[in-house]
Amino acid sequence: MAPCQRGVRCPRIVAILAIGLSWLGQASSAVAAVDPNQRYYFLTTYKTSTMQKELDAVVQQGFRVIASSHLGQQGQGLAVLLERATPPDLYSYKVLATNRSGTMQKELSAAAAEGYRFSPTRVLARKGGLGLGAAEVVLILERPPNVDQLFEYRLLGTARESTMFEEIEQAVAEGFHCVGIVAPGELMVVMEREARPPSQ
């Protein structure tokens, strides 16, 4: 293809610019105002680093997360379905993403102390970025408009089935019950109980 001359429009450059502007328009629409009459909103992303910001932008317009799933043939993307909540209810969410069970335990406990709660409909395990690296666990924790009960969580992770059963029984004896399971590589069971006063 001949190089573009000064003052002459180059079709190839014009096409590239048009594609770029179109992509920017789609990206910005992810956080644009939603039609007040729209009942559902479908949020998709391949980056957990931007998911919190995108989710907050939609939730602030009165939506609540009702389901989540993998996206793409190899499951690297994330898809979240939201439904408009009953006014004036305004839910808030915290996205936790890590490939280390120790880090997830620490972050989950901190979020729970702020009134956020785990749900098995908002947990995903996916491959590392674009299929590379270790598997990543993504939790979308929810905090209701009015928090009247806090919860505590314990993550149980082991490669040995017999050891897992023993840990579950021990947690149950301490008042926990199983609320979910994820398997990003290492099997992890999520245990929950109502938070107790410091004296107990």
Res. 12: pLDDT tops 70: no
Residues 6+ apart with CB under 8 A from 79: 42, 43, 44, 68, 69, 70, 71
What average pLDDT does this structure show over 171-180?
96
Long-range contacts of the stretch 31-37 (C-beta < 8 A, 24+): 31/57, 31/58, 33/61, 34/58, 34/61, 34/63
Task: Judge whether 66 and 52 are in contact, CB under 8 Å.
Answer: no
pTM of the model: 0.76
What band does 24 get if pLDDT is binned at 50, 70 and 90?
very low
pLDDT one-digit tens code per residue, 115-153: 999 998 888 877 654 444 557 888 999 999 999 999 999
What pLDDT score does 77 carry?
A: 82
∠ Cα 185 77 103 (to 5°): 45
Task: Judge whether 138 and 118 are in contact, CB under 8 Å.
Answer: no
Task: Give the lowest-confidence range in 15-24, 101-110, 123-132.
Answer: 15-24
Interatomic CA distance for residues 128 and 96, integer angstroms = 14
Interatomic CA distance for residues 27 and 46, integer angstroms = 12
Two tokens, residue 81? 């379905």
Res. 108: pLDDT tops 80: yes
pLDDT one-digit tens code per residue, 40-88: 999 988 888 889 999 999 999 999 999 998 777 666 788 999 999 987 7
What pLDDT score does 34 carry?
A: 87
Higher pLDDT, 100 or 180: 180
